[in-house]
Amino acid sequence: MGWKQRILIVFLRILDGLKLFKTLMGFVGRWTPAYSQKGRCVWPYIKRRRNANVHLLAYHRVSDACDSFLPPMPIKMFETQMTYLATYCNVLNLDEAVERIKAQDVPDDAVVVTFDDGYADNYIHAFPILKRLSIPATIFLPTDVIGTGRVLWHDQVFSALSKSKVPLIEGFPENGSRFSLRTLQDKRRAQDSISLYFRSLDVPRRCHEIKRLFGLLAFSMNFGSSRVYLDWSEVKAMQSHGIGFGSHSVTHPILSFLSETEAREEIWESKSLMEKMLGIRVKSFAYPSGRRQDFSEATKALLRESGYECAVSMIHGTNFVGTDLFEMRRTQYQDDNLHMFGARLTYYKCTS
Looking at the domain assignment, is residue 344 inside a domain? no
pLDDT per residue over 317-337, tens digit each? 999 999 999 999 999 988 777
Alpha carbon distance 249, 271 (integer Å): 8
Calculate mean pLDDT across residues 138-148.
Answer: 97
pLDDT class of 39 with cuts at 50, 70, 90 = very low
pTM of the model: 0.84
Q: Please state, for a pLDDT cut of 70, what percent of the chain lies above it.
A: 82
User: Are residues 101 and 231 both part of a single domain?
Assistant: yes
The secondary element (H helix, E strand) that includes residue 45 is: strand 41-48
pLDDT per residue over 247-294, tens digit each? 999 999 999 999 999 999 999 999 999 999 999 999 999 999 999 999
Contact status, residue 126 vs residue 78, Cβ threshold 8 Å = yes
User: Are residues 203 and 297 both part of a single domain?
Assistant: no
pLDDT class of 142 with cuts at 50, 70, 90 = very high
φ and ψ of 42, to 5 deg: -115, 40
Asked if the model's pLDDT at residue 138 lies above 60, the reply is yes
- Which of 158-172, 206-220, 223-237 comes out lowest in average pLDDT? 223-237
User: Are residues 199 and 67 both part of a single domain?
Assistant: no
User: Are residues 68 and 144 both part of a single domain?
Assistant: yes
Name the residue among 9, 100, 109, 113 with its Cα closest to residue 62.
Answer: 113
pLDDT class of 146 with cuts at 50, 70, 90 = very high
Q: How far, in Å, are 217, 302, 311, 332 from residue 246 at the CA level?
A: 35, 16, 9, 19
Q: Please state, for a pLDDT cut of 90, what percent of the chain lies above it.
A: 67
Cβ neighbors of 252 (< 8 A, separation 6 or more) are 117, 142, 144, 152, 153, 154, 288
User: Are residues 129 and 233 both part of a single domain?
Assistant: yes
User: Are residues 40 and 71 both part of a single domain?
Assistant: no
Looking at the domain assignment, is residue 21 inside a domain? yes
Neighbours of 120 (CB within 10 A): 16
The residue out of 199, 217, 235 marking a domain boundary is 217
Alpha carbon distance 117, 234 (integer Å): 14
User: Are residues 136 and 175 both part of a single domain?
Assistant: no
Asked if the model's pLDDT at residue 51 lies above 80, the reply is no
Alpha carbon distance 178, 175 (integer Å): 9
Looking at the domain assignment, is residue 345 inside a domain? no
User: Are residues 57 and 121 both part of a single domain?
Assistant: yes
User: Are residues 76 and 138 both part of a single domain?
Assistant: yes
Looking at the domain assignment, is residue 347 inside a domain? no
Provide the domain limits for residue 178. Answer: 153-159+166-217
User: Are residues 43 and 62 both part of a single domain?
Assistant: no
Q: What CATH number does the domain containing 314 carry? A: 3.20.20.370
Calculate mean pLDDT across residues 109-116.
Answer: 96
Looking at the domain assignment, is residue 136 inside a domain? yes
Contact status, residue 73 vs residue 62, Cβ threshold 8 Å = yes
Residue 241 is given by DSSP the state T
Q: How far, in Å, are 40, 74, 188 from residue 58 at the CA level?
A: 31, 15, 22
User: Are residues 41 and 57 both part of a single domain?
Assistant: no
User: Are residues 69 and 209 both part of a single domain?
Assistant: no
Looking at the domain assignment, is residue 349 inside a domain? no
Asked if the model's pLDDT at residue 225 lies above 90, the reply is no
* Helix axes 153-163 and 184-199, enclosed angle (nearest 10): 150
Asked if the model's pLDDT at residue 62 lies above 90, the reply is yes
Asked if the model's pLDDT at residue 29 lies above 60, the reply is no
Instruction: Tell me how many domains the chain contains.
Output: 3
pLDDT at residue 227 in the model:
84
